[in-house]
Structure 1
């Protein structure tokens, strides 16, 4: 028993000595590569923190992401059997990180002029205040120049901000806004156009929605933005500025009850993609923003819901009304009631992404601010559709069932 313990102790000590010898041999043979890797790590770490500190506007995750990538590839470097292969990988990581950090470099504000449509409330209203506070010259297009939202902007913002009457479904108002802005910016041009104005409509099954809802959503959420973009592109060309279209998560993925709204936002997203490719030769950068659920005024008021529900019922054929049942349509209002409950009150993720799209030297083509926005898009793009349908069905669970289906289920149970 004693001899056995002695043998185990000797073997353990021998093993430890061998490991030490191997480590010493590895360090001595790979000494130049190891020192070079460590030197690059230190240098790049200093550069990372310097850029993150210098870039105060875009601070989120710059150093964290850069150093995390460094750390992971540092491990790869030393785990590789041949140290020079690890060094190559590590050098590539440094290059990628430097490219990433250069993307985050922000331009100065320097009184850049930006047009924001739909500034009466919601994202547009908050963005107008946010950019004005940062020193931008803001042209806030509103649906009602004498409304409470416009008055709030006049009262709370600086004298740089200019409120413009701009219903984007009116060609005359778009042209009038263009003439006023072009007169004010003159040769400097307009740095940014943020197409934000939008309507939701009454969320309901696509079969239930009247054609007037589809047309209205397309007029406001798509055609209005296209006409605004076409009108102001000459001013953007002068400054080699930015075009930013506020789409929606529903514009990138199919979501039940959003047939009209989602289709109009999907059209806007596709328009953004095409414009990004076509306007690159002019030096204009284009971005689409797909926010998740945020608490804005887009869902409207209870009075508006009642009016839209009445309009919906009046346009249904007798067969469709019978199959769905008025109780099913009545229950759709519960979805509207619960929207604010499941929406984020803090709009800062959207505001920060729009600011990045305006000022980053190399902005992203797509931004997905908000919880689950990017995750849901990834599930839709990379997983089987049945899994996505299951996932979105859980998110938008609705216990209400059309009348005809309830009757069919009851009949099957009785037979």
Structure 2
């Protein structure tokens, strides 16, 4: 039950109680992992209660508000988590930006907003994790990228979201081959395949 004891997990996009990010944190904590999660514009009272909930499972828990669309977000995140908990062996790229668009609404700004979080943020977090992991004493690492149903059929009025999530699938495949010699596995997971009725996005 506690097979993740002494491991540290970073989970992005944990901004409300019913989100996928919060569910991931709970499950990892129940397996013994210490948790560091990021959020964006979440209610302070909920954050306090959620941290306490995670700590009640017998693990450490810290968090930080980070705008993952910023160029330096990946560096600041790993600097912070290493300072307060230590360097993580698990990275869950769960944060996502999603605004309904469709061909009538899609413009450069909407596309850039999706790209900044869904693609660039995920890519930079993943490679920063791998670079630092290579310099650490850890032997096994995990990167899990949360995707959506973009490969299973049309996502009407979700053009930017579907396109950027689709890019994550391609990135995952290539990165997994690059970092396998380091002891890092890289996988993409579509929670909608496991959750009846689909999923909420953070």
| TM-score range relative to shorter protein | 0.7 to 0.9
Deviation of the 1:184 alpha carbon: 4.3
CA RMSD of aligned residues (A): 2.3
Task: Provide the rounded CA distance (Å) in 1 between the counterparts of 2:133 and 2:165.
Answer: 23
TM-score for the superposition, normalised by structure 2? 0.82
Contact 2:66 2:73 in 1 (8 A): yes
Q: Over residues 140-186 of structure 1, what are the superposed CA-to-partner deviations in whole Å (9 max), with x where a residue is unaligned?
A: 11113663542332232206011122221123443222112223455
Contact 2:145 2:189 in 1 (8 A): yes
Task: Provide the rounded CA distance (Å) in 1 between the counterparts of 2:104 and 2:42.
Answer: 36
In the alignment, does 2:28 pair up with 1:131? yes
Aligned to 1:244: 144
* Correspondences of 1:175-324 after superposition (within 5 Å): 175-184=75-84, 186=86, 189-202=87-100, 204-237=101-134, 238=136, 239=138, 240-251=140-151, 253-292=153-192, 293-296=197-200, 298=202
Task: Provide the rounded CA distance (Å) in 2 between the counterparts of 1:290 and 1:168.
Answer: 21
* Correspondences of 1:251-400 after superposition (within 5 Å): 251=151, 253-292=153-192, 293-296=197-200, 298=202
Task: Provide the rounded CA distance (Å) in 1 between the counterparts of 2:109 and 2:151.
Answer: 20
Deviation of the 1:123 alpha carbon: 0.7
Aligned partner of 1:140 among 32, 37, 58: 37
Unpaired runs of at least 5, structure 2? none
Task: Provide the rounded CA distance (Å) in 1 between the counterparts of 2:48 and 2:20.
Answer: 16
SS at 2:150's partner residue? helix
Task: Provide the rounded CA distance (Å) in 1 between the counterparts of 2:53 and 2:83.
Answer: 25
Task: Provide the rounded CA distance (Å) in 1 between the counterparts of 2:34 and 2:99.
Answer: 32
Change (3 A) 1:144 1:251: farther
Contact 1:145 1:164 in 2 (8 A): no
SS at 1:171's partner residue? coil
Change (3 A) 1:144 1:173: farther
Task: Provide the rounded CA distance (Å) in 2 between the counterparts of 1:148 and 1:265.
Answer: 31
Q: Over residues 362-388 of structure 1, what are the superposed CA-to-partner deviations in whole Å (9 max), with x where a residue is unaligned?
A: xxxxxxxxxxxxxxxxxxxxxxxxxxx
Change (3 A) 1:243 1:231: same
In the alignment, does 2:53 pair up with 1:156? yes
Aligned to 1:349: none
Greater strand share, structure number: 2
TM-score for the superposition, normalised by structure 1? 0.42
Greater helix share, structure number: 1
Deviation of the 1:297 alpha carbon: 5.3
Unpaired runs of at least 5, structure 1? 1-56, 58-106, 299-415
- Report the count of equivalent residues: 190
Change (3 A) 1:267 1:289: same
